[in-house]
Amino acid sequence: MRSQGSDERVRRVRSANSRAHRNAPLTPEGRLRLCLRIDAGRPIAHVAAEAGLSRRCPAKWYARWPAHGENGLLDHSSRPATSPGRTAEDIAVLGVGSPPLARRRHRRALSRWLTGVG
């Protein structure tokens, strides 16, 4: 049986972000419940099997929970922080007038042409 404190934490997570993306197997509220079960002493593998998840998924959420608190259970963007292969901004500005399809298809060729490489 859950304590009053854990019910309050679930309510706060629910109100913070009640919308999960459409492919998410769990909402932030469900992730907190997994973490609370693991924190109560249940093995991660058992909690994962009960939820129908791989062992890695609850382990990931449980690692984020102590590190970031309840905000760590919210959905994060999978967009990379940097794009090392991206065309340099000063070169990309030179190709702004070209049609969008040509920009997409020939971004690398445009970069080479403008720098005099090829």
pLDDT band at residue 27 using 50, 70 and 90 as cut-offs: confident
Provide the residue ranges of all domains of the chain, joining segments of one domain with +. Answer: 4-73, 84-118
Report the pLDDT value the prediction gives residue 17, as an integer from 0 to 100. 47
Q: Is the pLDDT of residue 114 over 90?
A: no
| Residue predicted with more confidence, 69 or 11 | 69
Question: Residues 6 or more apart from 31 whose CB is under 8 A from it?
Answer: 13, 61, 65, 73
In the block, which residue shows the tokens 């929970």? Answer: 65
Better-scored residue on pLDDT, 12 or 58: 58
Average pLDDT over residues 58-65: 92
Give the pLDDT of residue 54: 93
Are 73 and 65 spatial neighbours (Cβ–Cβ below 8 Å)? yes
**At 47, which amino acid appears?**
V
- If you average pLDDT over residues 6-28, what whole number do you get? 61
Mean model confidence pLDDT for the chain: 75
pTM for the whole thing? 0.53
